[in-house]
Amino acid sequence: MLRAILLLFCLLSLSVAASVEPACPEGEVWDPCGRPDPICDNPFPVHLKICNPGRCVCNPGLLRSAHGNCIESRGCQEENNPCLLVECAAGRACVIEPVICKKAPCPKKPLCIERKCFA
Indicate whether 59 belongs to any domain.
yes
Q: Is 111 exposed, middle or buried (0-12, 13-18, 19+ CB in 10 A)?
A: middle
Q: pLDDT value at position 92?
A: 92
Q: What is the mean pLDDT of the chain?
A: 81
Cβ atoms < 10 Å from Cβ of 58: 22
- Whether the CA torsion 82, 87, 93, 99 is positive or negative: it is negative
Number of residues written out for the chain? 119
* Structural domain count of the chain: 1
Domain with 103 in it: 22-114
Indicate whether 55 belongs to any domain.
yes
- For 27-79, the pLDDT digits (tens) are 999 999 999 999 988 888 887 778 889 999 999 999 998 888 999 988 888 87
Residues contacting 100, CB < 8 A, separation 6+: none
Q: pLDDT value at position 43?
A: 87
- Looking up residue 50, the CATH number of its domain turns out to be 2.10.25.10
Cβ atoms < 10 Å from Cβ of 86: 13
Cα angle vertex 69, ends 29, 107, to 5°?
150
Q: What is the pTM of this model?
A: 0.57
